[in-house]
Amino acid sequence: MLVHSRGGRRAVWALFALLFLPLFALPLLVLVAASFAGHWSGALPSGPTLDHYDAAVRGESLRALTASLATAAAASALALTAGTWAALSAHALGRRARRVMDLLFMLPVAVPSVVAGLALLVAFSKPPVLLNGTRWIVILAHTVLVTAFAHQSVTAALGRLDPAYEQAAASLGARPWYVLWRVRLPLLLPSLGAAAGLCFALSMGELSATMMLYPPDWLPLPVLVFGATDRGSPFTGSALAVVLMGTTLLVLLALSRIRTKASYR
Amino acid sequence: MAEARPWAPRLLWAGVPVALLAAGFLYPLVLLVWQSVSPDTGGHSFAVYQDVFGSEVFRRALGNTVWIAAASTAGCLVLGFVLALVIAFVPFPGARAVARFVDVFLSFPSFLITLALVFVYGSAGMANGLWTDVTGAAEGPFAFLTTPWGVILAEVTYFTPFVMRPLLAAFGQLDPAQIEAASSLGARAPRIVRQVILPDALPALAAGGSLVLVMCLNEFGIVLFTGAKGVTTLPMLVYTKAILESDYPAACVVATVNVAVSLTLYGIYRAVSRRAGA
């Protein structure tokens, strides 16, 4: 305990609340409040309404939600496969080669997403690979951007894995494939679940590269949120944002349930 | 044991994901840099670089990017240190829940913060509404949202959790006996923070701080939602040049500069976090 007097502790906690609540809790509360508000010109919102949600779950918005979910699901599945593959194969290499691979796969984090989007636009706007104007370029961009995070979390998990299990399996004559499938991947499952959640959340909220690439028939939800606020209807934007946050949280919750179920095995 | 197996198949296995990364990321990036030295008129030259470097917009964007990122990082470090300090060493009921909330916060996109700040500090928002209600004035005093300060506030809010997480991990490894010993020898809280906790947290602070610096340099959503003409950063300029003005050569030049700045700082981050053992 750093502060011993009761008064001192109270003062510290008051300072904490004073910093924490307006900075972190208020924005989220305000977004939720705005999504139910008809007007907001004053200290508090007024004219409670569900109209924004009515608009947020039909037509263009519903298509955007589906596009976002499909993009995020595809990108996380691909990124998880590629990231896990990269982490596993790097783990089998020597120290220097491993470091090079870690560096390569972390590059997409260091490079601005807008630039990654522009690079894809430059590379895939002409034959032989013409992806520009299709949804595949959006999915490719999201995959590239989130693979770094999948790779990073699986690499960290591999480092914590007890090698005794796979050594025991191998010494009992299990082939490498069998060891991978029946020993290492099940042991990695909790981390894979966490990595999948991270990738999904990042892809659901990805705006930078998407703004550079999205075709007219594949508008993910963040693009629509920007469109609504840019048109001067921030209340619709807030409702869409709440739908975005809610969907992300639901998927994260579902993934964490799979995770805990697996850990009892 | 792993070393005894032949290296060729292992290298081949590693080659597959690297080839995918090369096709989807490295090759486009190289092409982008190549494009920046190949103007539309044909041949190769640095003519576009000269034009871009000479333009007022670019220089202002470069300056804005660096100072906004530096100021946001400083804010995140101070705020993150104070908040993590309270959670770790002056724990209160619910401190765990707060730490969990911070983790959830990280899974939301950054631009939501700016969207929310419009309702809090915008011209018709809460803060100005409260002010006009209390004082009876025609309009409130808060008009910083469309200035760099609005961007800095949003970035500090969004990125502070990235500083708090490594700090909380580092604080968790600090031996409480050290603090008890210092305390029983008569050191008061500020001195313990300065002489015991801070030196121990420096590697985590450095690693978290440089990560946040890179992320602030690359941030686009917050600046886009701020929507102010006066606040152009490098990523914003890449978007403006490419999508709004269809000036791809200039966009490629700005993008190349942006990558160079970010990669340099990211290299420093890797070096620092490796030295810190993170």
Q: CA–CA separation, B87 vs B93, rounded Å?
A: 10
| pLDDT number for residue A2 | 75
Q: Looking at residues B174-188, what average pLDDT do you find?
A: 83
Q: CA–CA separation, A159 vs A88, rounded Å?
A: 11
A105 with A36, same domain?
A: no
Contacts of B24 (CB under 8 A, 6+ apart): A120, A140, A143, A144
Q: CA–CA separation, A237 vs A227, rounded Å?
A: 8
| pLDDT number for residue A206 | 92
The domain in which residue B85 lies consists of 58-275
Copy the structure tokens of residue B78.
Answer: 């101070």
Which residues are registered as beta bridge partners of A39?
A: A46
Find residues 44-103 of chain A whose CB sits inside 8 Å of chain B: 44-45, 82-83, 85-86, 89-90, 92-94, 97, 101, 103
Residue type, B67: W
- pLDDT per residue as tens digits for the range B252-265: 999 999 999 888 88
| pLDDT number for residue A221 | 92
A141 with A191, same domain?
A: yes
A145 with A209, same domain?
A: yes
Q: CA–CA separation, A28 vs A129, rounded Å?
A: 42
**Residue A208: its chain B contacts at CB < 8 A?**
218, 220-221, 235
- pLDDT per residue as tens digits for the range B53-84: 888 889 999 988 989 999 999 999 999 999 99
Contacts of B275 (CB under 8 A, 6+ apart): B203
Q: Name the nearest CA neighbour of A237 among A249, A224, A250.
A: A224
Predicted confidence pLDDT, tens digits, chain A (265 residues): 677 788 888 888 888 888 888 888 888 888 888 888 777 777 777 777 777 777 777 788 888 899 999 999 999 999 999 999 998 888 888 788 888 888 888 888 889 999 999 999 988 887 777 788 788 999 999 999 999 889 988 888 888 888 888 888 888 888 888 888 888 888 888 888 888 988 999 999 999 999 999 998 889 999 999 998 888 888 888 899 999 999 999 998 888 876 555 554 4
A34 with A83, same domain?
A: no
- pLDDT per residue as tens digits for the range B124-152: 777 777 788 788 777 777 778 888 898 99
Assess A172–B contact: CB distance below 8 Å, yes or no.
no
Distance from CA of residue A255 to its chain's centroid? 12
CATH code assigned at B261: 1.10.3720.10
A44 with A69, same domain?
A: no
Residue A120 lies in a domain: yes
Assess A35–B contact: CB distance below 8 Å, yes or no.
no
Contacts of A120 (CB under 8 A, 6+ apart): A131, A137, A140, A141, A144, A209, A212, A213, B24, B28
First to last CA, chain B: 26
A31 with A133, same domain?
A: no
Q: Name the nearest CA neighbour of B87 among A15, A5, A4, A194.
A: A15
Q: How confident is the model at residue B276 (pLDDT cuts 50, 70, 90)?
A: low
Task: Provide the domain count of chain A.
Answer: 2
Mapping DSSP to helix (H, G, I), strand (E, B) and coil, where does residue B49 land? helix
Residue A1 lies in a domain: no
Q: Which residue has the higher pLDDT, B5 or A154?
A: A154
User: Quick check: B235 and A114 CB within 8 A?
Assistant: yes
Distance from CA of residue B161 to its chain's centroid? 11
Phi, psi of A37, rounded to the nearest 5 degrees: -100, 145
Q: CA–CA separation, A80 vs A40, rounded Å?
A: 43
Determine which of A9, A12, A104, A118 to mutate to test the interface with B (most B C-beta atoms within 10 Å). Answer: A118
Domain boundary among the residues A49, A64, A79 is at: A49
Cα nearest neighbour of B243 on chain A: A212
Q: CA–CA separation, B21 vs A211, rounded Å?
A: 22
Q: How confident is the model at residue B5 (pLDDT cuts 50, 70, 90)?
A: low
The domain in which residue A31 lies consists of 6-49
